[in-house]
Amino acid sequence: MEKVIACIDGSRSSESVCDHAAWAAQRLHAPLTLLHVTQNRHADQPADLSGNLTLGGREQLLKEMVELEEQRGKLAREQGKLILGAAIEHVQSHGVAEPGRLLRHGTITEALTDLQEQTRLVVLGKQGKDGDMVERHVGSHLESIIRTLSRPILVAPLSFQTPQRFMIGYDGSATAQKVVERVAMSPLLAGLPAHLLMVDDDHADNRNKLESAAEQLRTAGYEVHSAIRTGAVAEAVCAYRKEHDLHLLAMGAYGRSRLRQFFVGSTTTRMIMQSPMPLLILR
């Protein structure tokens, strides 16, 4: 059975990741597995054994470095077990029965790639243990995961709010249409009012595309609101979100639209860091 995989690292994002993952697992009627990945950041840095050390001195230094790395690895594993244990207790308190746990070594992208055949949804935070506001952590890891995985990804903000209304970023492309189809077929957002937002010129062709997508969601039982907004994507999306008090944004991972270029690409980090709501990225 495909699982919801929650990626936790002990940062202050981890509690929100657990909350979002518990909510998603219950909505999807899927088992939840908590994943923690340890990585030895010093192992990839070649030791500089040059200088005036004798051969014997170099060998002794190398031996001590190896022992130190082993100690660091052991401590990282023990820390990972503690982080997973706390996360298990947290999701159980939120109604998740028998959550699983995985402790892996390497990179988060490698671990998720290995697990994706048994994955239904990946949940991860937009901030990590390298620092609560370190943008490179988000930009590097998230972009790599989006480009590598073929599974849906839910990016959680720092706090959890049970979604009551959601928005789909729609641009009329084939990718956006697949998002509408995926949402219509999935129980994740079933029963929640849906908002379709297109940020583009307001003309007949765009209105027809938007109405067609809205009708598909209505057929699936959704209450649907649709709108076309002009102007800069960032301002239009943020304004619409505030106007309608929306709690989740769904969009496609690929495409060449202005909307996609704003959310996924060179400005991914800015979007993720600034958005106060979870972002559901669909393939």
Structure tokens at 227: 């709108």
* C-beta separation of 279 from 263 below 8 A: yes
* C-beta separation of 151 from 283 below 8 A: yes
Q: Are 3-41+75-156 and 166-278 equal in CATH topology?
A: yes
| Alpha helix (H) residue ranges in the chain | 14-28, 55-93, 108-115, 135-148, 174-185, 204-219, 233-244, 258-263, 268-274
Confidence (pLDDT) at 56: 63
Q: pTM here?
A: 0.84
Position 276 confidence tier, pLDDT thresholds 50, 70, 90: confident
Position 274 confidence tier, pLDDT thresholds 50, 70, 90: low
Residue 149 has pLDDT above 50, yes or no: yes
Closest to 263 measured CA to CA, from 170, 124, 183, 127: 170
CA separation for the pair 235, 237 (Å, rounded):
6
What DSSP string runs through 147-164?
A: HH--S-EEEE-SS----S
Mean pLDDT of 88-106: 95
Residue 245 — left, alpha, or beta (φ > 0 → left; ψ -120 to 50 → alpha)? left
Which range has the worst mean pLDDT, 52-61, 81-90, 236-245, 248-257? 52-61
CA separation for the pair 217, 22 (Å, rounded):
25
Dihedral of CA atoms 247, 169, 149, 41 in degrees, nearest 10, equals -60
Position 237 confidence tier, pLDDT thresholds 50, 70, 90: confident
* C-beta separation of 237 from 169 below 8 A: yes
Query: Model confidence over 155-189: pLDDT tens digits?
Result: 998 899 999 999 998 988 888 899 999 999 999 99
Mean pLDDT of 223-244: 90
CA separation for the pair 159, 126 (Å, rounded):
11
What percentage of the chain carries pLDDT values higher than 70?
81
Which range has the worst mean pLDDT, 7-16, 190-199, 218-227? 7-16
Residue 280 has pLDDT above 60, yes or no: yes
Confidence (pLDDT) at 141: 72
Helix/strand/coil for 105: strand
Helix/strand/coil for 70: helix
CATH 3.40.50.300 fits 166-278, yes or no: no
Position 273 confidence tier, pLDDT thresholds 50, 70, 90: low
Please give the CATH number for the structural domain made up of 3-41+75-156.
3.40.50.620
DSSP 8-state secondary structure symbol assigned to residue 41: T
Query: Model confidence over 253-269: pLDDT tens digits?
Result: 765 555 555 554 444 44
For the chain, the structural domain boundaries read: 3-41+75-156, 166-278
